[in-house]
Structure 1
Amino acid sequence: MDKKTEQKKVFLDIVQQLRQLIKTEKIQAGEKLPSERVLSERLSVGRSSVREALRSLELLGLIETKHGGGTFLASTQKHQLVEILSMFILEDEKSKKDVELTRQIHEKEAIRVISCIETLRTLPVWDSFFVKLEIEGTINCLDVLREIIITSGNRLSLKVWFQLAVYDGDRLNRNSTEEEKLIIQTMLKSMQLGYEKEALKSYEQWMKTVQSN
């Protein structure tokens, strides 16, 4: 089993462990969950792996971390979202493509929203990306997509996107190539100017480049 597959397995193991805890120990929303150390021992994985998985669960709203107080169970109604995503845990090529396409749907919609709303497309964050590209010559691909999703203002879309992006992290969480740099600049500039079609065209060109890497 390769490293990427193992990381996904750890995530599912923790989700299943939490479901079992809820069922057998009758943990209610707002009650404290086992510590990282306990979960690490039960799953026979490192605490760093447990910590990363818990962070993903927190982004989905399944758990809540209180500084100095531990981790607590959120509303159990939210667990259905993780169960749906878990069905597409990349066990075959079709599932991988489904996850990728679903992630892109959220990204395209976010680009449309930003392109159509002046207050969003004129935010200084886009200029900061241009400055970074100019000074450093590259930019983290995942950072750009994350900012687009966040800026669009759809919190549910953000939670779903975070988890979908985890599955494609190797291809996204890296610095842009020289070819991608030009495409990203065109996409961001088109978005700033409100040119929705041009921004989406550049985005699709970028994703084709990502797929070829």
Structure 2
Amino acid sequence: MTNQTTKMYLQIVRELRLLIQKENIRPGGKLPSERELAERLQVGRSSVREALRSLELLGLIETRRGEGTFLTDFRKHKLVEVLSTFILQDTKTVEDVHITREIHEKEAIRIVVGSTKLNQLPVWGSLLLQLQEEGTIVREDLIREILISSNNRLALKMWFLLKQYGDEPFQGNSEIEENHHIQQLLMAIIDGEIEQAIRSYTGWIAWLSQGRDIT
């Protein structure tokens, strides 16, 4: 997600927060349509749709086909309430979002690597083979598979939103300079080496963050 896209996303989220407060929309209340929001913000409907999709993944809103978009009672889910309050009311640095996203990713890695069932899933060998034969993989494919395999649906939903709220580090295909981090991570998953997997992940994130190889 580019800086411009991130700013637009945050603008839409802030507008929704203000609208909910100003019009005192309660759980179950209907929100303006995509078209109306796009006109108010003077942005494209696709940008509005992406922001609404992210909020729906978190559980803040729900879309009913043929009816519209409605505010949900997210307070029933305590962990979701904590994150949704932050997302809807805070314009603080995205660094907090990066840290929280990485916590989810590291925990998912520990779960997957520590399970003899999960670390032997065919997907890890397939990604490793693709990396060796083609010299690249889609970055997000690996991280998403790790989150999905950890089998924590709430964490997965939160991760999707965090990934979109902050500057997305996993865009595009991997480059030669980072591939050794990815290969080490995949091999550590297959071998069940938790600490090595975390070290490889950390090195990869550092490379992505700084744009250069970190040894």
* TM-score normalised by L of structure 2: 0.82
Q: How many residues align?
A: 206
1:186 equivalenced with 2:188 (yes/no): no
Q: 2:35 aligns with which of 37, 42, 56?
A: 37
Residue in structure 2 matched with residue 62 of structure 1 by the alignment? 60
Q: CA deviation at 1:184?
A: 0.9
Q: Is 1:176 the counterpart of 2:174 in the alignment?
A: yes
Q: Secondary structure of the residue that 1:29 maps to in structure 2?
A: coil
Aligned-partner Cα distance in 1 for 2:41–2:107 = 38
* TM-aligned CA deviation for residue 24 of structure 1: 4.4
Q: Structure 1 vs Structure 2: percent identity of aligned residues?
A: 48
Which residue of 1 is the match for residue 125 of structure 2? 127
Q: Secondary structure at the match of 2:32?
A: coil
Distance 1:30-1:172 versus aligned 2 partners, 3 A rule? same
SS at match of 1:118: coil
Change (3 A) 1:192 1:30: farther
Which residue does 2:84 correspond to in 1?
82
The answer (yes or no) to whether the contact 2:138–2:174 under 8 Å persists in 1 is yes
Q: Which has the higher contact order (CA 8 A, sep 6+)?
A: 2
For residues 106-145 of structure 1, what are the structure 2 equivalents within 5 Å? Answer: 106-145=104-143
1:44-99 C-alpha deviation (Å, 9 max, x unpaired): 21111111111111111111223444322221425652331456646xxxx34433
Q: Aligned match of 1:13 in 11, 14, 31? A: 11
Please give the alpha-carbon distance, in whole angstroms, between the structure 1 residues aligned to 2:88 and 2:29: 24
Larger helix percent: 1
Partner SS, residue 149 of structure 1: helix
Q: What do you get for the CA RMSD once the two structures are aligned?
A: 2.5
Q: 1:211 to 1:146 in 2, by over 3 A?
A: same
Query: Structure 1 unaligned runs (5+)?
Result: none
The 10-residue stretch of structure 1 (37-46 or 150-159) with the greater mean CA deviation from structure 2: 150-159
- Residue by residue over 1:120-147, the C-alpha shift from the partner in whole angstroms, topping out at 9 and shown as x without a partner, is 1122222231243244321122221122
